[in-house]
Chain A
Amino acid sequence: MLNQTSKRLFLENLRERLGFQTRVDQTRFEHTSWGPVDGPSWPRGIFQKGLHEIVAANGSHHPAALAFGLLAAHATADHRPLLVVSLDHNDQDNGRLYGAGLAALGIDPMLVFEAKTRTEKDLLWTVEEGVSCAGLAAVIAVLDRKERLYGFTASRRIKLRQEKTGIPVFLARHAHGDATAASTRSLIMARPSEGILVPSNHLPLLSAPRAALQLVRHLGSPPQTWEIAFDASNGLRMVAEVQNGPFAASAGAIENAA
């Protein structure tokens, strides 16, 4: 029979394994004002330098978080290589990067290098080393479980290194966590795309995948939300239409998402 502490630890571990979002994150997503999508308000150049945290709505939206990091990094890469750093604990949970799939996303797989580390300490060391390398375009790091070392101090160290080379870092995080020295923090979740109706098909065909990106933290600007699309030809782009109603529906969808 488990005592209360053991039970709590067991449930936390189970949630972590199944990728459930914490109660705190759900509250934030629900209560944030989504507002209309605004094309001109996309902050140009915001992701060209600095440390950017991307938090998936929950574990099942991790692909959207990673894809956004890759595409945002690739947008300014100018044929320079990207370094993707992740923990070597379990590729089976979230999948491994697939070269042919990167090509279908519009990213040249020959420009993507991966580093797998056994510990979070090695991961942060690798990010710092990558940020210090002038030849890289960007570093994309994945922390897909509860962080033990990453926090204000580690983020500050990364930013100090970045100031010399200007290389951006995109960190896909497990959950919000405490305040860090990151330049921006965004929440992301996949959104239904526009289906292409074909009379002979039982189901609509797929168009460019979409996601809702909520910039929750950026110095000097209030939280904003956009609906973005990933397109192999055009990379990352903003969807122009106003989507107030569906956003309200999607807030409920986040709460119920597994």
Chain B
Amino acid sequence: MSADALTDEERYPTLTLHGREMLRFLREHPFAPIFRNRSGNRLLPDDIERVLAFEAEVASSPLGATRDPARWLQGFLEQWREVVPALRARRPWPAELSQHPCTSRADFARDIAQFVPDSAPVERLLNFRTSGTTGHPIPVPSHPVVAAGYLALYKRALRRFGIELRHGPGKVGVVLIGYQERCFTYTSVTPTMGDSGLVKLNLHESDWRDPNHRALYLDALAPELIAGDPLSFAELLRLPLELEPRAVLSTSMTLSHGLRNELESRFDCPVLDVYSMNEAGPIGVYDASLGGHVLLQPRLHVELLDEAGEPVAPSERGEITLTGGFNFCLPLVRYRTGDHARLEIRRGELVLVDLEGRPPVRFRAPDGRFFNNVDVTHALAPFSIARYTLHQDERGALHFKLCGARSPLAEVRAALARLFGDSLELRVEVVAHFEEKAIQYTSALRP
């Protein structure tokens, strides 16, 4: 049944009086946007118990727990061995994790059903489609309990920065902001937070009766947390807001240090850069004191593999490959994400350093030296740019496109010239928007 066909009882099975009033407040506020969709937590009473148990487990897991997969990994593999069709077909059963074949987006795209456990209740399956950085959408099976479980990991991330969420009945817990021609927008409540309000809205002017209502509505909601991505944050910063969130949470795309600093300065609160994906949920949160994304999930094992599927040497870059997770509709076994990083132990915790969402791309400077995309990321980190792409054509000329830039273009150009050299042929183009999954770094140079 599609989401729009559900009744309110099915969307919010445990809706309280506070929750009902909150929904009315969110939808009927005079400055409210046009909500184009309807969602709902879909959590039954038993589900809520499971969600709270998961929250307690995550909260009590010690920092550095991710370093010790031996505690749970074999049990995880045994649990799913006879229940997931793709695992059931693995004969003889691999003795070690490293002997299991890797899986990829292509495997999921071919037939996702082979990776869904027989125990996953079909009648409650959700589909969070993802297209990754590029490519065709693949279905990602999920469940209301899994969707609600994200909050446990965000709470763990927030705790690192001294934030304990406390908005409950009568208050708005989170506003999710997008900034696209079209996106899903809806109102809901979070039962594990006393039916506090949850709003997903689109800052694009076409979703508002009056663009000035955007700031007025957000101020009226006074959410404890704002979640979004660099594009929506760049637009948010243009609004005359007075609200004071306790934290800002960024997902979906790389958040430049410059933009993060600007958000921190504007809202005077921690800004969390979360590495997350539909296939695994929140994986890590950037911690400047550790210089990378510290892993969040106690039962998610991370390997880094080279192109041949072999583990890279310690502190070398490799493709992030995941085993474990809390999605009981899609347990991951050596799932290659397409993202790359180095994995280091810093202050007793596992940290993804220099995280990049695509395989490494090399760029050639006019004097023949080569740089890779990480070098470019570092050079541009200080600037407040919502999104950019860099392409080198077959002649070696660079084409830099950006949107949502709040730093002077001359300074951005100068930073690239310092990296590549003054004789660099560089075109800088400001665009209004990118295709949803534009690739950040590309090169037409022959290797």
Asked if A and B are interacting partners, one says: no
> Chain B: residues with CB nearer than 8 A to chain A?
none
> Chain A: residues with CB nearer than 8 A to chain B?
none
